[in-house]
Structure 1
Amino acid sequence: MNIGKELLDELLKECKTPPDLFGEGGILKQLTTALVDWSLD
């Protein structure tokens, strides 16, 4: 599987600071949660 640049651009368009990416409410935590939830369905 290859995650395209367009998808990454869309997911990260509002991330401006490191906490936006890695913080408590950051995209990394949101993606991890979504992937775990998806895999358990």
Structure 2
Amino acid sequence: MAPIFFSISRFLSMKSINKQGGTKFDGKSLLIKLRKILWDFF
């Protein structure tokens, strides 16, 4: 499960960085997204 979690978090962080131009990174919203995804899976 850990590798999946890390790959998803990396993918989402890359996405958000591309969206915001690499200036800001919102960790809180990322955690909420990850929680939602994990809840959907399990």
TM bucket by the smaller chain?
Answer: 0.3 to 0.5
For normalisation by structure 1, the TM-score amounts to: 0.47
Counting helix residues as a fraction of each chain, which structure ranks higher? 2
- TM-score of the superposed pair, with normalisation by structure 2: 0.46
